[in-house]
Structures are given as structure tokens and as C-alpha cells.
């Protein structure tokens, strides 16, 4: 290949810039020209292509967000939109794509290959850590650290006032952030979509015969919890126990921003490098991930559709530590 394009798509995550930097410099090291596509598939349709070189990606490894911007595109979901995207890719002489994003982004890249034969390798850029084929996704570590920092501060207030706090974290339909942040933050209860038992244990914590006698309590709620978010859960507890009182904090998008952790910078650099090298040796429709600290390639179909199960040892720790 003589020319490739890099784009970020879906929700931003800390470390995307480090991945862009690694991909650009790996391509240039191999004598390959690089362009960036701004605003993901939307920019692909609207012809937002820019030239990238070593200078373009200087001083970005420590920056959160993505210098290439990101956007969701309804137009790309149509055949007409994908046709425009393909025409622009061909007009710029691009022979392959590097996609940094999550399962929706990989689905779009996979469709482009199936319809037009444009090869693509993905790098998993999402704080949710929900992609099969990699132990960690780019941005997850930073998001957890951000959540834990907030939990530590809220714990000080909870302790001072002998209060119950429900803290809602991001993760879409995955409980990875909630589980990791809850264990690291010393939460008394963690509610995640993957475990129905946690709901009953939490109810018992406040209303059961052996309810907790602790002066204050921290409960972590994953935003995708099937019984609702933190606000809805507190309302439910009030309907069971009329004198129940709790404060709710929704951390929201602060988990997606900020300077990436050292771990995320290294992970993003490894995967950006691996993605370009895989594309140049003829691989396509695969995601570069990290398993057992080794870079591996996983077909997009598996990364998108297979379920990534939570570590059962971590689930067991929640019970052990809160006995």
C-alpha cells in the first residue's frame, strides 16, 4: 500500500490520540502516505480528508479526546451514504483504513469492505471495555481511574455525614467500569447488567433482616443496569422502605475525557502500531487487541458479536470484601 487513512468513530476515549500518533508514525516508517478523516464516517461522506505527518501528531500523546474529531452518522447507514464515502476514499487514493472505535465503528468498516472491498484494521477505542478479543480497550483504564478518584472524594463526604451514596458510572451495557471502580473504591455494593444476584444482595443490604450497620455506604451502579440508573434504584428503595435516604451522583462524561493514563498510552501505541503493520501485510476485517499481554488479531465478526464475559474472580471479590 502507498496510502492509508485513519479515522476515529463513535464515543471518544482517552488514548485515541496516542493511537493516531502510533499509526501515523508506523505508516511513515514504512514509507506509506497517511491522511486523516475528520469526524469518522460523517467526514468520510462529506470529504473531510486532511494530510497527516510526523509533525501533525507531535505533542498529542498526552491529550484526551481525538484530534480527528468523531461523530455518529445516520447517512452512513444508507447505501447512498456509503457510496459517497467510497467515492471520496477512491478520489484520495486511499488503499486501506485504520478505524479507532468500538463495535458500531467496526460494523461500518466491515460493511465498507463487504460492499466495496476497502480493507480495514481496527483498534479498540472505547472506555466500555466490551469488545471481545482484547483484555483491555483504549481508554478503559483512564475511565476507571477517573471514576475511582471521584468515588474517593464522595467517600469523604459520605463518611463525614454518615450517608448512603449511589454513584452511577458509564459503560453502556457493560459492567466493566462499575466492577473495577467499585472494587478499587471500596464500594459496599456494585450493580452491573451481567449479574442479577447483585440486585437482591443490594436490596438485602438496606432492607433485609441482616442489613448493614455501617455508618455510611457506597453503591456503584452501571448505567446499563437492568433495573434502571441510580436515580430509579433509589426511588425503588424508597418505595420499599419509606425512611430510606440516599444521595445520587452521576459521573457521566467526565469519564470519557482527560489525559490518558500511562497504561492507556502504551496500549494505544502498541495497538496503533500493530493495526498498521497488519494492514500492510494484507490483513483486513480484523481488530488488533491485547490478550495475555500479546498483540492478537480478532475478526470483526467475533469482536462485535461474541460476548466478553466478566472475570468471575472479580465478582467473587465483591462478596468476600463485603461480608
Q: Give every CB contact of residue 261 below 8 A, 6+ residues apart in sequence.
A: 14, 141, 142, 145
- Fold: same for 3-139+260-305 and 141-256: yes
Q: What pTM does this model have? A: 0.95
128 tagged catalytic? yes
Range list of H helices, 65-139 = 79-91, 103-116
Closest Cα to residue 290, out of 121, 127, 131, 107? 131
Neighbouring residues of 23: CB distance < 8 A, sequence distance ≥ 6: 6, 34, 98, 100, 123, 272, 273, 275, 276
Report the distance separating Cα 67 and Cα 18, nearest Å: 10
Which of the residues in the chain have pLDDT under 70? 209-210, 212, 323
Does domain 3-139+260-305 bear CATH number 3.40.50.450? yes
At 227 the pLDDT is 87
Q: Which helix (H) or strand (E) holds 286?
A: strand 286-291
Residue 223, Cβ neighbours under 10 Å: how many?
A: 22
Alpha-carbon distance of 195 to 302, in angstroms, equals: 23
Under 8 Å between Cβ of 315 and 118: no
* Residue 51 phi, psi dihedral angles, 5° rounding: -75, 140
Q: Which of 128, 130, 141, 264 is flagged as catalytic?
A: 128
CA nearest neighbour of 113 among 251, 318, 299, 291: 299
Cell numbers linked to 44 = 468520510
A 10 A CB-CB count for 157 gives 13
Please, where are the H alpha helices in the chain?
Answer: 16-29, 40-45, 79-91, 103-116, 140-161, 176-184, 197-207, 230-240, 262-280, 300-305, 312-321
Radius of gyration of the chain (CA): 22
pLDDT of residue 323: 66
Fold of 141-256: Rossmann fold (3.40.50)
In angstroms, rounded to a whole number, what is the distance separating the alpha carbons of residues 319 and 323? 6
User: Which pLDDT belongs to residue 234?
Assistant: 95
Alpha-carbon gap, residue 98 to 120, rounded angstroms: 6
Picking from 34, 58, 36, the residue whose alpha carbon sits closest to that of residue 47 is 36
Amino acid at each position: 500500500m502507498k496510502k492509508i487513512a485513519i479515522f476515529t468513530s463513535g464515543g471518544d476515549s482517552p488514548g485515541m490520540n496516542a493511537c493516531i500518533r502510533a499509526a501515523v508514525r508506523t505508516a511513515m516508517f514504512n514509507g506509506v502516505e497517511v491522511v486523516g478523516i475528520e469526524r469518522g464516517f460523517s467526514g468520510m461522506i462529506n470529504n473531510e480528508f486532511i494530510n497527516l505527518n510526523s509533525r501533525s501528531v507531535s505533542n498529542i500523546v498526552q491529550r484526551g479526546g481525538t484530534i480527528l474529531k468523531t461523530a455518529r452518522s445516520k447517512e452512513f447507514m444508507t447505501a447512498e451514504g456509503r457510496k459517497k464515502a467510497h467515492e471520496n476514499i477512491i478520489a484520495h487514493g486511499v488503499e486501506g483504513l485504520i478505524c479507532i472505535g468500538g463495535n458500531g465503528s467496526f460494523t461500518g468498516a466491515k460493511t465498507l469492505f463487504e460492499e466495496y472491498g476497502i480493507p480495514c484494521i481496527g483498534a479498540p477505542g472505547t472506555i466500555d471495555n466490551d469488545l471481545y478479543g482484547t483484555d483491555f480497550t483504549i481508554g478503559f483504564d483512564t475511565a476507571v481511574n477517573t471514576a475511582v478518584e471521584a468515588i474517593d472524594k464522595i467517600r469523604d463526604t459520605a463518611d463525614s455525614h454518615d450517608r448512603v451514596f449511589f454513584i452511577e458510572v458509564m459503560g453502556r451495557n457493560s459492567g466493566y467500569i462499575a466492577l473495577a471502580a467499585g472494587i478499587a473504591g471500596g464500594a459496599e455494593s456494585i450493580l452491573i447488567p451481567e449479574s442479577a444476584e447483585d440486585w437482591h444482595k443490594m436490596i438485602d443490604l438496606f432492607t433485609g433482616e441482616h442489613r448493614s450497620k455501617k455508618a455510611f455506604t457506597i453503591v456503584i451502579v452501571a448505567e446499563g443496569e437492568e433495573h434502571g440508573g441510580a436515580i430509579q434504584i433509589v426511588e425503588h428503595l424508597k418505595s420499599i422502605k419509606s425512611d430510606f435516604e440516599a444521595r445520587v451522583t452521576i459521573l457521566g462524561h467526565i469519564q470519557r475525557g482527560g489525559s490518558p493514563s500511562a497504561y492507556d498510552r502504551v496500549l494505544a501505541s502498541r495497538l496503533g502500531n500493530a493495526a498498521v503493520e497488519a494492514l500492510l501485510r494484507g490483513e483486513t476485517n480484523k481488530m488488533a487487541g491485547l490478550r495475555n499481554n500479546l498483540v492478537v488479531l480478532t475478526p470483526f465478526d467475533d469482536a462485535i458479536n461474541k460476548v466478553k464475559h466478566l472475570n468471575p474472580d472479580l465478582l467473587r471479590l465483591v462478596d468476600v470484601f463485603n461480608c
